[in-house]
Amino acid sequence: MTTQHPVSMRPQLHGLGVYAPGMPIEEVARRYGISRIIKLASNENPRGCSTRATEAVVREMQRASLYPEALGPELRAKIAAREQLSEEQVLIGNGSDELIRLLTRAYIEPGDEVVMADITFPRYPTNVRIEGGTVRTVPLKNGVHNLAAMLECMGSRTKMVFVCNPNNPTGTVVDHHQLLEFIQAVPENIMLVLDEAYIEYVTEEVLESARLLQNHPNLVILRTFSKIYGLAGLRIGYGLMHPDIAGALVRVKDAFNTSRVAQVAAFAALDDQAFVQACRLENAQERERVSRILLDKGWDVYPSQANFVMAKVQEDGMKWFQALLSKGIVIRAGQQLEADPQTLRITIGTPEENDFLLESINSLYQDGTFQLS
């Protein structure tokens, strides 16, 4: 029996949930004794990463005993050149997750309000609450950010607004004309964080958001190397922003927040746009195929532009999660994402992995009905 610790934690942490990542392959193997396991839970790139990135990591390991450069100047300069920005407008982070945390640490005070969609990436509200801010959510409209309602939700205490585009977990994108109008309408004293973690997967016309930074100093754009670039395990992302915002985040970040190997891997990955294009095309084809088949089965599938789909089923999503897990397929149920408990989020895998997923779903049908334990 344990007693309560004599040092009390901050009150903002009471009732705060712990982020639950997708179940690792190793854990599924131990629990179920299954040799063939397919992880379609964490929106990772099933094609891995560019061989250029792998080769860069191997070379850099010879210098692993040395601390990295704190701001990753070579990578920073490369990104700035690609986006036609100054280096002072680029900041490297330990994944875009860290940049979300740094933004709330640097700018959110107790009593500040932050507007975001319901549902969206759960790290937004978590970080806001840690800093004592108040979260104001606006329901999605047909699975898409309701930008008009979000504008109406902003008030005198609003400090920040998050727009995840494509949205996680629905995969939907905002019409680029509407998004431009929204950016133009957000008051300049409110920081607008546009999270584009999945933007490289989009095949529709998208807003060239980086071009707007000059006229909208309150805009912050987040990107990552975890998704289409396949470097999730190295934890590296970046933000595009006004130099003053970047300067504020540097004040609150860890001294060496990204590793040497992550920096060189990202640098090399940017040079292999043929790999990125191949991933985008294969993902689009498989996303359309998986969505079509699930729709044919009566599932309500959101029109995704990301590397995952979200579908609403008639049953409890956790039953589907457990049924597919027993077959060696790891997905995410809505309940695990703080979303509708009748929803599932499924990462788009390789064609072979998607075949196995669809065959497994079929095997759970009997006489036209789902047979879930």
Predicted confidence (pLDDT) per residue in 108-155, tens digit: 999 999 999 999 999 999 999 999 999 999 999 999 999 999 999 999
Closest CA to 167 of 151, 144, 183: 144
Dist CA 371 CA 364 (whole Å):
5
Over residues 77-92, the mean pLDDT reads 98
pLDDT higher than 60, residue 205: yes
Furthest-apart CA atoms within the chain: distance in Å:
63
CB 353 within 8 A of CB 361: no
CB 206 within 8 A of CB 175: no
Dist CA 39 CA 45 (whole Å):
11
Dist CA 243 CA 171 (whole Å):
30
Minimum mean pLDDT among 179-183, 190-194, 367-371: which range? 367-371
CB 254 within 8 A of CB 225: no
Over residues 315-326, the mean pLDDT reads 93
Distance of CA 144 to the CA centre of its chain: 16
Dist CA 213 CA 241 (whole Å):
7
pLDDT higher than 60, residue 260: yes
For 214, phi and psi rounded to 5 degrees? -60, -40
For 291, phi and psi rounded to 5 degrees? -60, -45
91: part of which helix (H) or strand (E)?
Answer: strand 90-93
Dist CA 278 CA 106 (whole Å):
38
Residue length of the chain: 373
Could you tell me which residues are beta bridge partners of residue 308?
347
Could you tell me whether strands 308-312 and 343-347 are parallel, antiparallel, or unpaired per DSSP bridges? Answer: antiparallel
> What confidence tier does 25 reach under pLDDT thresholds 50, 70, 90?
confident
Helix axes 51-60, 260-270, angle to 10 degrees: 150
Q: Check residue 2 and give its pLDDT.
A: 60
241 residue type, one letter: M
Determine what percent of the chain is predicted with pLDDT higher than 70.
94
pLDDT higher than 80, residue 372: no
> What confidence tier does 365 reach under pLDDT thresholds 50, 70, 90?
confident
Dist CA 320 CA 363 (whole Å):
12
Dist CA 88 CA 246 (whole Å):
7
277: part of which helix (H) or strand (E)?
Answer: helix 273-296
Over residues 327-350, the mean pLDDT reads 95
What are the distances in angstroms from CA 7 to CA 3, 4, 10, 11? Answer: 12, 9, 10, 12
| pTM (predicted TM-score) | 0.93
Dist CA 231 CA 235 (whole Å):
7
Dist CA 329 CA 37 (whole Å):
6
How does pLDDT run across 42-57, given as a tens digit for each residue? 999 999 999 999 999 9
How does pLDDT run across 225-259, given as a tens digit for each residue? 999 999 999 999 999 999 999 999 999 999 999 99
Domains 11-48+274-370 and 51-270 share a fold: no
Domain 11-48+274-370 is of which CATH architecture? Alpha-Beta Complex (3.90)
Q: Check residue 176 and give its pLDDT.
A: 96
The 8-class DSSP code of residue 180 comes to: H
> What confidence tier does 22 reach under pLDDT thresholds 50, 70, 90?
low
Can you read off the two tokens belonging to residue 161?
């607004």
Q: Check residue 27 and give its pLDDT.
A: 74
Q: Among all chains, which residue has been given the structure tokens 């309560």?
A: 4
Q: Check residue 368 and give its pLDDT.
A: 63
Over residues 296-309, the mean pLDDT reads 96
> What confidence tier does 307 reach under pLDDT thresholds 50, 70, 90?
very high
pLDDT higher than 80, residue 281: yes
Helices (H) and strands (E) in the chain, counts: 12, 15
Could you state, in order of their start, the residue ranges of all structural domains in the chain? 11-48+274-370, 51-270
pLDDT higher than 70, residue 21: no
> What confidence tier does 343 reach under pLDDT thresholds 50, 70, 90?
very high
Q: Check residue 19 and give its pLDDT.
A: 58
Could you tell me which residues are beta bridge partners of residue 223?
238
CATH no. of 51-270:
3.40.640.10
Q: Check residue 41 and give its pLDDT.
A: 96
Q: Check residue 98 and give its pLDDT.
A: 98
Q: Among all chains, which residue has been given the structure tokens 């029109």?
A: 303
How does pLDDT run across 151-175, given as a tens digit for each residue? 999 999 999 999 999 999 999 999 9
